[in-house]
């Protein structure tokens, strides 16, 4: 008889499912899947990955003693079911909202999140650190890292595995793309249960002890025979070579198999173990299973039909503008190639790939390789556009320095998601690239004030062969300006003046330009004379423009959607060295605050950052110091 009593309502924490039988665990998994679907239909977010690990999540919390046993999720966009089971169900419909739950694991959110994540490839390294701390403290807890097959394209995962040695660590490879394993069935499940058991391990140890006294050739032959026998039956030779005892592949949706194998592995006390679990992304929700991306990231949607909420029509996104501009340049120049690190859709390079499949390279979650790969292309006369989110380019910074900048190679860096990014929160914010790219000798650094400027920067980058060049642009829609069919090339290091005044100079770098324009309107409505300029370049600085603004205005304000140490700092340093600060120029730099800003709507995030129009206008009035009291957008300055 099927179990009919609802179970999820009885579960507050993982301890509540310890005594569930397999039938109850199956029912709990079904209810958990429905709860996840319903929650994400309200909030939007990552859906397919979480649906794929529902049974695995239930089994892990049933078998292991979390939070004492450490459970580390790679990327962690698949952890919505985990959050529901670990005391956060009552807040699950605040996912990715202002003041709500993070879309990723977060240490400050729950003791069941021992490590925060949102970038791929970190779980095994973090788990190894926890293992070392446990062993130094002579503790006994288990440490489990759950990593997807996509994250296994990250070199960091292999660096960590190579360092595992004889440590007692459990790694679960969540293979949801069938890129490694063949379809799994009863035979592979039986073999996995067999080799994960203590009996097999004991016999194996006895056999190894016996052959240890044999001559080396015989000992090595015995080792390879056993290794390849298991490898032929179940795969995993690669992981064995890295020192891991391989178990699998197993069906990640079969709770009988998961519970028994995890229970076996929990009792093993020697050496690192890798359990290969095959799952289906979007499992249990037909619209997700049928989608090409398995509903990786979704907006709010209708649970019954799967239809996602469409955003209001408006200006095109900066990402799509970039992609189309790059396609146009590539049609005229067969040396142009494009590189993405596992984000073709997010960067718009899926569109470029449709047009130029042979000139599009997806290197996987391997930003370091991607940057040096681009450097290699540049040495042979190609024009690589290394298209990586600002936050992910941080992962390839050594290669930007050593392999590109040091050799002055003409690699083009297209840095998407510059500035704050809304629901993805601080892990995905592009806050630091102005400073870290601007610090490099020979690097040209640009930022698009609007989508028309972005097309000009793409064209300028394509024509620039003197060294590395980078340009940044934000997530979301443009401002609606007309996009030129044949964009003019920019003069390197030259900005533009959009409005002439005499008292206050607003110098914007990047996509806060539209807010600076609104601020200029507010100030002029108060009878103040305002010059508005778009710097375009943080490096090289337009020193002629800065000189003019500094000499002809009482107040100079720089505005950027980046951290301290960027464009404003470069401007201040120039003015200090040129002696212009000595004459009493009132200069203010407006940057992102020295803190990580949690997820919210983009407007609210910039409100918290103090970078909306009213903040710019208020800063200008305060800098004048004339005691003005005026109302600007509801804010008294």
CATH topology of domain 8-298: Rossmann fold (3.40.50)
Checking if the pLDDT of 97 tops 50, the result is yes
At 394-405, the pLDDT tens digits run: 999 999 999 999
pLDDT at 505: 98
Mean pLDDT of 179-207: 51
Q: What is the band of 632 on the pLDDT scale with cuts at 50, 70, 90?
A: low
Mean pLDDT for the stretch of residues 559-568: 97
pTM for this predicted structure: 0.88
Give the model's confidence band at 572: pLDDT under 50 very low, under 70 low, under 90 confident, else very high.
very high
Alpha-carbon torsion, ordered 235, 240, 242, 246, to 10 deg: 70
Q: Which tens digit of pLDDT belongs to each residue from 7-19?
A: 999 999 999 999 9
What local confidence, expressed as pLDDT, does residue 628 receive? 47
Report pLDDT for 581. 82
pLDDT above 90 (res 174): yes
**What are 329-368's pLDDT values in tens digits?**
999 999 999 999 999 999 999 999 999 999 999 999 999 9
Q: Please state which of the four CATH numbers 3.40.309.10, 3.30.1320.10, 3.40.50.970, 3.20.20.70 is assigned to the domain occupying 318-472.
A: 3.40.50.970
CA distance 188 to 247: 10
> Does position 580 have pLDDT exceeding 90, yes or no?
no
Catalytic site residue from 35, 367, 453, 561? 367
Q: pLDDT (tens digit, 9 = 90+) per residue, 498-543?
A: 999 999 999 999 999 999 999 999 999 999 999 999 999 999 999 9
CA atoms of 277 and 135, how far apart (whole Å): 27
pLDDT at 183 over 70: no
**Residue 225 confidence (pLDDT) above 80:** no
Inform me whether the pLDDT recorded for 229 exceeds 60: no
Two tokens, residue 341: 């690190």
Whether the pLDDT of residue 3 is over 90: the answer is: no
What is the reported pLDDT for 212? Answer: 61
Alpha-carbon separation of residue 366 from 30, 46, 114, 154, 425 (angstroms): 35, 21, 25, 5, 22
In the predicted structure, residue 50 carries a pLDDT above the cut 60: yes
In the three-class reduction of DSSP (H, G, I as helix; E, B as strand; rest coil), residue 157 is classed as: helix
426 in Cβ contact with 96 (< 8 Å): no
- Mean pLDDT computed over every residue of the chain: 90
User: Is residue 612's pLDDT more than 90?
Assistant: yes
Statement: residue 487 has pLDDT above 70: yes
Give span(s): CATH 3.40.50.920, the chain. 496-636
pLDDT score at 220: 55
Told to judge if 524 belongs to the known catalytic residues of this protein, a careful annotator would answer no
Per annotation, catalytic residue among 134, 201, 283, 395: 395
Q: What's the pLDDT band for 626 if we cut at 50, 70, 90?
A: low
Tokens of 136: 């130094």
Lowest mean pLDDT among 89-98, 196-205, 234-243, 594-603: 196-205
Q: What is the pLDDT averaged over residues 286-299? A: 82
Residue 435, pLDDT > 70, answer yes
Strand order in the sheet with 245-251: 70-73, 143-148, 170-175, 273-278, 245-251
Give domain 496-636's CATH architecture. 3-Layer(aba) Sandwich (3.40)
Higher-pLDDT residue of 184 and 569 is: 569
Which residue, among 415, 362, 369, has the nearest Cα to 392 in the 3D structure?
Answer: 415
Segment 86-106 shows an average pLDDT of 96
- The yes-or-no answer on residue 577 being catalytic is no
Task: Reply yes or no on whether 205 is catalytic.
Answer: no
CB within 8 Å of 180: residues ≥ 6 apart? 149, 173, 235, 249, 276
What is the predicted pLDDT for the residue at 119? Answer: 94
Burial letters 596-610, b for 16+ CB under 10 A, else e: ebebbeeebbbebbe
Q: Is the pLDDT of residue 223 over 90?
A: no
Q: Which pLDDT score is estimated for 234?
A: 46
Tens digits of per-residue pLDDT, 453-474?
999 999 999 999 999 999 999 9
pLDDT at 134 over 50: yes
Catalytic residue among 33, 134, 230, 281: 281
| CATH 3.40.50.970, the chain: domain bounds | 8-298, 318-472
């Amino acid at each position: 008889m099927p179990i009919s009593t609802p179970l999820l309502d009885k579960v507050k924490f993982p301890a509540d499912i310890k005594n569930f039988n397999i039938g109850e665990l199956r029912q709990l998994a079904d209810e958990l899947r429905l709860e996840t679907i319903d929650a994400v239909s309200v909030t939007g977010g990552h859906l397919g990955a979480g649906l794929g690990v529902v049974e695995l999540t239930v089994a892990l919390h049933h078998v292991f003693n979390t939070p004492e046993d450490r459970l580390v999720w790679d990327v962690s966009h698949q952890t919505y079911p985990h959050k529901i089971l670990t005391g956060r169900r009552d807040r699950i419909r605040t996912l990715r909202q202002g003041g709500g739950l993070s879309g990723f694991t977060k240490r400050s959110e729950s003791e069941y999140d021992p490590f925060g994540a949102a970038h791929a490839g970190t779980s095994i390294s973090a788990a190894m650190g926890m293992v070392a701390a446990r062993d130094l403290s002579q503790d006994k807890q288990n440490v489990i890292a759950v990593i997807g097959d996509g994250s296994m394209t990250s070199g960091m995962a292999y660096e960590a595995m190579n360092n595992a040695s004889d440590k007692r660590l459990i790694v679960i490879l969540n293979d949801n793309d069938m890129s490694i394993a063949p379809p799994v069935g009863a035979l592979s499940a039986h073999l996995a249960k067999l080799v994960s058991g203590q009996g097999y391990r004991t016999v194996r140890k006895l056999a190894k002890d016996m052959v240890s006294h044999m001559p080396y050739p015989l000992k090595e032959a015995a080792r390879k025979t056993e290794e390849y026998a298991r490898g032929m039956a179940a795969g995993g030779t690669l992981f064995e070579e890295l020192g891991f005892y391989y178990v699998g592949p197993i069906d990640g949706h079969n709770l009988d198999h998961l519970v028994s194998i995890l229970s076996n592995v929990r009792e093993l006390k020697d050496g690192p173990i890798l359990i290969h679990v095959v799952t289906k992304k979007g499992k249990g929700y037909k619209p997700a299973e049928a989608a090409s991306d398995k509903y990786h990231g979704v907006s709010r949607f209708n649970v019954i039909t799967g239809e996602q909420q469409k955003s209001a029509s408006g200006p095109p996104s900066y990402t799509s503008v970039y992609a189309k501009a790059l396609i146009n340049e590539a049609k005229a120049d067969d040396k142009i190639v494009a590189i993405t690190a596992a984000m073709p859709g997010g960067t718009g390079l899926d569109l470029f790939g449709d047009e130029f499949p042979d000139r599009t390279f997806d290197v996987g979650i391997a930003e370091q390789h991607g940057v040096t790969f681009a450097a290699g292309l540049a040495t042979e006369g190609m024009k690589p556009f290394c298209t990586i989110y600002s936050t992910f380019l941080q992962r390839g910074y050594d290669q930007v320095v050593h392999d590109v900048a040091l050799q002055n190679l003409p690699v083009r860096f297209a840095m998407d998601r510059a500035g704050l990014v809304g629901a993805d929160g601080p892990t995905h914010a592009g806050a630091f690239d102005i400073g870290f790219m601007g610090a490099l000798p020979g690097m040209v650094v640009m930022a698009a004030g609007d989508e028309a400027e972005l097309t000009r920067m793409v064209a300028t980058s394509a024509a620039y062969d003197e060294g590395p060049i980078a340009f940044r642009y934000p997530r979301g829609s443009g401002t609606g300006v007309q996009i030129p069919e044949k964009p003019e090339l920019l003069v390197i290091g030259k900005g533009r003046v959009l409005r002439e005044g005499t008292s206050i100079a607003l110098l914007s770098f990047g996509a806060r330009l539209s807010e600076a324009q609104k601020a200029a309107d507010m100030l002029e409505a108060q009878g103040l004379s305002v010059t508005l300029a778009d710097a375009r370049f943080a490096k090289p600085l337009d020193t002629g423009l800065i000189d003019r603004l500094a000499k002809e205005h009482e107040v100079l304000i720089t505005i950027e959607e980046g951290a301290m140490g960027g464009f404003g700092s470069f401007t201040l340093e120039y003015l200090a060295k040129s002696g212009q600060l000595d004459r009493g120029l009132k200069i203010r730099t407006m940057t992102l605050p020295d803190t990580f800003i949690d997820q919210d709507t983009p407007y609210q995030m910039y409100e918290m950052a103090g970078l909306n129009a009213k903040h710019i206008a208020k800063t200008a009035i305060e800098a004048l110091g004339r005691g003005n009291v005026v109302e600007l957008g509801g804010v008294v300055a």
